[in-house]
Amino acid sequence: MAPFSVDERKNPAPSRREHELSKVIRESLEPVVLTDLYPRTVIDLFVEILQSDGGSRCAGITGASLALADAGIPMRELVAACAIGKIEGKLALDLSDSEDKYGEADLPVAYVPNANLVTLLQMDGELTTEEFNKGLEMAVEACKTIHTMQREALKKKFREIKESVIEKEETEVVA
């Protein structure tokens, strides 16, 4: 996280929280990256948080998954993540920093839709069994929506590249 990413300027050295975020992001993505295609190889992934107002781990997982796919790293599927929280007795999606700090519970979830696989499930605070089940259902549905947006973003990028290549080839043929 950048020193200026939080309200109070932080030490630029990685903190305990940043080590945890790194571990959580890695463990959320490992099930989908086809690492066996790259023996004796390291895939380095850097997530730089420029402004943190809650949801850093979920945004990091979602963005990192998209970045790996964009870089051409073979993956089984994209991973999408979001968090559910409990604020004043009600469940809510995508908490802000203050809602997370002063809320009653936080439930980040990373999900692989086509495999129906949860790759991250953490919880801070207290939820009843009913609230947990409802929150998990809300998170999974939100992750499916995010997953659709990830796929559309990739398709759009590669469609634009394809169109520019075709346009360039047509221009060269005419010239």
For the stretch 14-60, pLDDT in tens is 778 788 888 999 999 999 999 999 888 888 888 887 877 778 889 99
Q: E strands, the chain, where?
A: 80-87, 90-93, 105-112, 117-121, 124-125
Q: Is 54 left (phi over 0), alpha (psi -120 to 50) or beta?
A: left
Return the ∠ at Cα 149 (arms to 115 and 25), rounded to 5°: 60
What distance in Å separates the CA atoms of residue 88 and residue 15, rounded to the nearest whole number? 30
- Residue bearing tokens 């949860």: 118
CB 118 within 8 A of CB 61: no
Give per-residue pLDDT as tens, 134-175.
Answer: 999 999 999 999 999 999 999 999 899 888 898 888 887 776
pLDDT band, very low/low/confident/very high, at 62 (cuts 50, 70, 90): very high
Q: What's the topology of domain 3-168?
A: Ribosomal Protein S5; domain 2 (3.30.230)
Dig out the tokens for 59 from the structure. 């945004």
Q: Where are the domains of the chain?
A: 3-168
What pTM was computed for the model? 0.84
